[in-house]
Structure 1
């Protein structure tokens, strides 16, 4: 099976540097539609769907390979090797940011920089670490995911999207969730929400920009502060936004921060 077919890879633009845009849990490359056209005027833009999501090849979803996020990180290195030209900027949203971080630890020479949108190395509170959810909260999310996936989508879409002034975005996210293969979504959800990659954070030496929303129930400000303290060569920028998806609800601000950081790295 080709990598293009496996990950539904699409490329736009022909700049000397490459921007890879990688979505979060349950989403797909369509989530970048407000940002990628402007990026493609200056860079080569690589869009993809994580295996098991969007228009990826669902038959390629191996539960053993994707039992951890390392399986997806391996896929990202495949895509870079085949499609990237020049310096590579990895723009990852939510769990996509963690996947990119893991890939860069394996092959840091392949990355110019990361841009992490709403990242979280661990969603579960642990001692002094604030991940946003108590263990029983995550248990409840996963129990609902297993018992009634459509109800999970109905409840979680507005929590994840936020953007109360733009209810169409929550409706869009709910519809996206509903199109997913439910068995894969349950498996990937458990991997996503129970993963703990705090020990990996200091191993990432690639320059990184952390984009943190001001009011995000999925990745609260404390998570951005934690990453900034422990992630070498990192910068932290705040976006005034309610929700976890500023590339949809505040795309102009998100684009400006992303593009200015890349210009800074390339200067």
Structure 2
């Protein structure tokens, strides 16, 4: 069976991938999901010890997942959300995966749009320079704006209670300065023509990674001969991997993998 490594982004625990893992397992894949460096095994433990993930940056996270990949029984498919989507693209560009699905992926170096909603969604981190070296939590209200604007208030509260954890601020600071840094860790090898297929998925109601960012990412691959596809879900927000409609996104990813002829 082909291994699939699920990579989460900021403010979600790795256990949020559990429904996806069940679905991919039933479809014949071998699913794995691991937390970020220092991330405790449960949401409750992560909330109780936010310092465990403080000061972890993009290079740390990419290296962490590269080591996980090396321990898998074969070269995996990567499925990443938000910053996990950026990491999936970096790792694919490093030829460490056979394919990747990047869902509402955080912007990388060379991607220029910076919508106001993105600034608002990430303000809890950027409000203080010291947050670069700290872990930051989202309140219920902040989570609703950044993640769950396309679902009911009740569902947003349930999602926050179930999955939201503190996350390091450093990756956001690194991504924000990427276009001014010649050696930014937020660099992706978009011109690698030998890499495996890539699917970029975006939610049209996403405030954290608005469609302008994902479309700009897609354009960065125009000089690559490798397969790069873009799928849009106009009525979905940043919570599209965990809210009541997650199965539609997962099924679309499975169908796309079938189209690429990637074995299970």
- TM (normalized to structure 1)? 0.74
CA displacement at 1:39 relative to structure 2: 0.5
> Quick check: 1:28 aligned with 2:23?
no
Q: Which residue of 2 aligns with 1:215?
A: 205
> Quick check: 1:115 aligned with 2:101?
yes
Q: Which residue of 1 aligns with 2:126?
A: 142
Following the alignment from structure 1 to structure 2, what is the Cα–Cα distance between the partners of residues 19 and 91?
7
Q: Which residue of 2 aligns with 1:261?
A: 256
Q: Which residue of 2 aligns with 1:238?
A: 232
Aligned residues: 239
What's the RMSD between the two structures over aligned residues?
Answer: 3.5
- TM (normalized to structure 2)? 0.75
Contact 1:213 1:243 (C-alpha < 8 Å) held by counterparts: yes
Contact 2:203 2:240 (C-alpha < 8 Å) held by counterparts: yes
> Quick check: 1:158 aligned with 2:144?
yes
CA displacement at 1:75 relative to structure 2: 1.1
1:126-167 per-position Cα deviation (integer Å, ceiling 9, x unaligned):
9x93232489755674216959956x4233200122254443
Structure 2 regions of 5+ residues with no counterpart? none
Structure 1 regions of 5+ residues with no counterpart? 1-15
SS of the counterpart of 1:206? coil
Which of 70, 78, 97 is the aligned partner of 2:59?
70
Following the alignment from structure 1 to structure 2, what is the Cα–Cα distance between the partners of residues 80 and 171?
34
Following the alignment from structure 1 to structure 2, what is the Cα–Cα distance between the partners of residues 20 and 178?
20
Following the alignment from structure 2 to structure 1, what is the Cα–Cα distance between the partners of residues 125 and 79?
27
Q: Which residue of 1 aligns with 2:89?
A: 101
CA displacement at 1:234 relative to structure 2: 0.8
Following the alignment from structure 1 to structure 2, what is the Cα–Cα distance between the partners of residues 120 and 185?
15
Point out the more displaced range, 30-39 or 191-200: 191-200
Change (3 A) 1:234 1:38: same
SS of the counterpart of 2:234? strand
Which of 30, 40, 49 is the aligned partner of 1:44?
30
> Quick check: 1:132 aligned with 2:115?
yes
1:93-142 per-position Cα deviation (integer Å, ceiling 9, x unaligned):
00011112222333x0x31111000013249xx9x932324897556742
> Quick check: 1:202 aligned with 2:196?
no
SS of the counterpart of 2:127? helix
Change (3 A) 1:134 1:47: closer
Q: Runs of 4 or more off by more than 6 Å in structure 1?
A: 56-60
Following the alignment from structure 1 to structure 2, what is the Cα–Cα distance between the partners of residues 206 and 221?
23
